[in-house]
Amino acid sequence: MTGLRHHGPMAGTATDRPRTSLRTDWILTGLAIWLVGGFYVDLWAHHHGEVDDTFFTPWHAVLYTAAVAFGVVLGAVALRDPRRGLPLRASLPATYWVGFLGSLLFIVAGLLDLAWHAVFGFEGDIEALLSPTHLLLATSGLMMIGTPLRSADARMLGGRAFSWRLAGPFIIPLAMILAIFGAFTQYAHPIVDVWSSRIEGSPIESGAQLFAMAPDGTGQRRLAILPGDARSPTFSPDGSRIAYSFGALDDDRQIHVMSSDGTADRVLTNEGSNIRPAWSPDGSRIAFSSTRDGGDFDLFVMDADGSNARRLTNDPAEDWAATWTPDGSAIGFNSNRAGDYDLYRVGVATTDVTQLTSGPANDWEPAYSPDGSSIAFTSDRGPDLGVWVAAADGSDVAPLDIGDGDGTMPAWSPDAARIAFTSRRTGDGEVFVVPASGGEPTNLTQNPAAEEGWVVPAWDPAGTTIAYPSEGVLPADRAPFVREGFGAAGILIFAALMAGAVVYARRRGQLPFGAYTILIAVPAILATVLEDQERFIAGALIAGVLVDLLARVWPAATSRRGDAAFAFLAPAVFFAFYFATVALTDGIGWTIHLWLGAILTAGVIGLLLDELARRPGDAALGSPTSGDRRSG
């Protein structure tokens, strides 16, 4: 065979394959930090609304360049081997070959992810963590990060004590792997969602939650679990998104936008108090009222992503309840600038304001008909608050027959055949619908246990769904069963991941001081950036140091009791400091039965994993065994 040089065994065999090197392992360890750091930077950007619905972002650039760097480094290792003529599969050690394939797979998975988004749209919330292409990216990332770990692991046989020089490429990638698993299970992560915190106020003081139903009142469902008061839902013209106003109790309100199924929530405003969003007919802009420049509410308009906010009105009166004309040239609103509340119109381009109604009565909540010829609005012109209709210029004002009782906040159906409105005629707020020509209304919500429809029901563009706020419904995030169940599940999952990594590392022998601090604290600290939970950093570091000290009290593989005690205490110590942090900040909302039981359960998980990982010959009850190389 020409072109092949033999070195004893046939080229390409296991004995001829080049070996790993400690220097390369440290380089790959640095790349693992880069890759996971880029991943968490991207997660931070998504959690903080810094990413639009696009694949090409600076955050992705950090992530993907790390994957490319893996391939470049491992490719260079293959090319530097002096033995030419080796088959491709034999040009790298087997451990490095897996990492090289991982870097290639990462790029392929990225292209598949781009195509996935083009076909199925961008994921939101938990969807992003379970998306097939994202799971493929995670798998390829683990293949790369595991490369220095597997290489270092092969050197750490024999159960002896190791220096940082040898153990670093094992411990650091293992911590990075634990951080990836923590990120992909963040929907049940005790640091991302602190379910054990005490809640101020009564359970139902969160205000309104957003619901949706069919136009006949069937299929009523909650759109999202929101930790505060959510009102004024309004569908985008294509029906894919809902803008709404949101605020915690006694706090400024902000404009949010989410997918129409309640996922992928984003905050669009952050200055002053902002209410009553309204989409432009082309979906490119959102009108709203704001106090961002001080004083009372004025009208503003911004791009649909929250940028380029521009003031439309500037008056010491209250201007709110924006509604676009169907051609998008103007916005109707109500204002008390003339004393009583009347209806006005402001030009979007010119900012010229025109008064539409006047008189001793108050007129609120204008809503243009789909063809722009009429305005429905709330007025106290009659004996009760009722729905009135006028021509687009404010003339020909007449009451709409909505039966006996009050009616407020009208909303036209897309086909202009019906008008939804809110009424308290039954003793509580309900959403009704009535023919646009008037007649007998139908109670759609029929829920006497809640106040529904305040503020403003909204039709989707297809006329198949009505969104509305419902007040008095216990928010799911305040229900004791949810807080206790989700919180306990998150602790069990994170305890299993942490204890698994700790037990796996301890089986390698006596690690250098600081190894368990990195293994325990680094994944926890990275998780704090997702929801700005930096308060847990100090406790995680202290817990890690204490676990390192425990590893000196019970050295690895010297006794079965010592291994068991260490495996129990490592996760238990971490969660003891976790709950101490909660107690010192928010206060613990769980009883001692729950939080102490969670700490003990975390320890039991570690103990169980230690037993499952035990092999014949491991140290038993303090007696030297064939597997106890330190006791002789």
Residue 9 has pLDDT above 50, yes or no: no
Band (410; pLDDT cuts 50, 70, 90):
very high
Question: pLDDT (tens digit, 9 = 90+) per residue, 219-252?
Answer: 999 998 787 889 999 999 999 999 999 987 567 8
Tokens representing 515?
């190894």
Distance CA 58, CA 42 (A): 9
The answer to whether 594 and 519 have CB atoms below 8 angstroms apart is no
Q: Which residues make beta-bridge pairs with 301?
A: 287, 310
Distance CA 250, CA 247 (A): 8
Helix (H) or strand (E) holding 242: strand 241-247
Residue 597 has pLDDT above 90, yes or no: yes
CB burial class (10 A; 0-12, 13-18, 19+) of residue 100?
buried
Question: pLDDT (tens digit, 9 = 90+) per residue, 186-202?
Answer: 999 999 999 999 887 54
pLDDT value of position 454: 87
Measured on CA atoms in the order 308, 312, 315, 321, is the torsion positive or negative?
negative
**Strands across the sheet containing 408-412:** 408-412, 418-423, 430-435, 442-443
The residue length of the chain stands at 632
Distance CA 453, CA 460 (A): 15
- Which residue carries 């204890």 as its tokens? 499
Question: pLDDT (tens digit, 9 = 90+) per residue, 312-325?
Answer: 999 999 999 999 99
pLDDT value of position 121: 77
Distance CA 305, CA 484 (A): 36
Please calculate the CA angle 299-305-306 and round it to the nearest 5 degrees: 40
pLDDT value of position 629: 35
- Which residue carries 């968490």 as its tokens? 40
**Strands across the sheet containing 274-279:** 274-279, 285-290, 298-303, 310-311
pLDDT value of position 56: 67
Residue 293 has pLDDT above 90, yes or no: no
Contact partners, residue 138, CB within 8 Å, separation at least 6:
180, 184
Residue scoring higher pLDDT (202 or 410): 410
Measure Cα distances from 274 to 201, 255, 257, 278, 523 in Å.
Answer: 24, 6, 13, 12, 37
Distance CA 506, CA 520 (A): 13
- Region 37-54: mean pLDDT is 78
CB burial class (10 A; 0-12, 13-18, 19+) of residue 583?
middle
N-term to C-term CA, the chain: 53
* Helix 94-120 / helix 132-155 crossing angle, nearest 10 deg: 170
pLDDT value of position 88: 58
Look at strands 310-311 and 298-303 and give their pairing: antiparallel
Residue 1 has pLDDT above 70, yes or no: no
Residue 414, CA atoms < 13 Å, CB-side half-sphere = 16
For residue 41, say if its preceding peptide bond is cis, omega within 30 degrees of 0: no
Distance CA 561, CA 569 (A): 12
Helix (H) or strand (E) holding 606: helix 592-613
Question: pLDDT (tens digit, 9 = 90+) per residue, 530-581?
Answer: 989 999 999 999 999 999 999 999 998 788 899 999 999 999 999 999 999 9
Distance CA 434, CA 420 (A): 6
Question: pLDDT (tens digit, 9 = 90+) per residue, 469-525?
Answer: 998 766 667 778 888 999 999 999 999 999 999 999 998 889 999 999 999 999 999
Distance CA 601, CA 490 (A): 12
Residue 35 has pLDDT above 90, yes or no: yes
pLDDT value of position 17: 62
Distance CA 49, CA 134 (A): 19
Measure Cα distances from 55 to 106, 116, 124, 509 in Å.
Answer: 15, 11, 14, 44
Distance CA 604, CA 446 (A): 49
pLDDT value of position 55: 60
The answer to whether 465 and 213 have CB atoms below 8 angstroms apart is yes
Contact partners, residue 307, CB within 8 Å, separation at least 6:
none
Question: pLDDT (tens digit, 9 = 90+) per residue, 341-383?
Answer: 999 999 999 999 999 999 889 999 999 999 999 999 999 998 8
- Region 303-332: mean pLDDT is 96
Q: What type of residue is 416?
A: A
Question: pLDDT (tens digit, 9 = 90+) per residue, 100-157?
Answer: 999 999 999 999 988 988 888 777 778 888 999 999 999 999 999 999 999 999 888 6
Measure Cα distances from 111 to 114, 183, 190, 552 in Å.
Answer: 5, 22, 33, 48
DSSP 350-399: T--EEE---SSS-EEEEEE-TTSSEEEEEE-SSSS-EEEEEETTS-S-EE
The CA R_g of the chain, rounded to the nearest whole Å, is 31
Q: Which residues make beta-bridge pairs with 387?
A: 378
pTM, two decimals, is: 0.66
Q: Which residues make beta-bridge pairs with 391?
A: 374
Q: Which residues make beta-bridge pairs with 510?
A: 161
199: alpha, beta or left? (left if phi > 0; alpha if psi -120 to 50)? beta
CA-based diameter of the chain, in Å?
105
**Collapsed DSSP state (helix, strand, coil) of residue 298:** strand
